[in-house]
């Protein structure tokens, strides 16, 4: 019992403008990539892309990578090149 000396704050982040299609597409791809645990991204993305290996190659991402190894920028690259 003494009261702890703790400071806290709440931060709200809002994007300016409307919904960016590329960011939404990247979020959809990330959700699909993480949808199957311990799988390589090329296997997980088959549910949303007809040829995930060519999309990964075009984005410069190794075909053996797992979802947790990709950065947010990698998902944005995928969104740019995905059909």
The model's pTM = 0.73
- pLDDT per residue over 16-64, tens digit each? 655 678 888 999 999 999 998 788 999 999 989 999 999 999 999 999 9
Helix (H, G, I), strand (E, B) or coil at 74: helix
Q: By the 8 A CB rule, do 43 and 36 touch?
A: yes
Amino acid 17: pLDDT: 59
Distance of alpha carbon 14 from alpha carbon 57, whole angstroms: 33
């Amino acid at each position: 019992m003494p009261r702890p000396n703790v400071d806290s704050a709440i931060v709200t982040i809002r994007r300016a403008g409307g919904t960016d299609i590329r960011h939404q597409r990247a979020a959809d791809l990330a959700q699909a990539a993480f949808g199957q645990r311990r799988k390589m991204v090329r296997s997980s993305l088959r549910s949303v892309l007809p040829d995930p290996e060519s999309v990964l190659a075009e984005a410069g991402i190794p075909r053996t990578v797992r979802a947790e190894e990709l950065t947010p920028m990698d998902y944005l690259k995928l969104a740019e090149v995905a059909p």
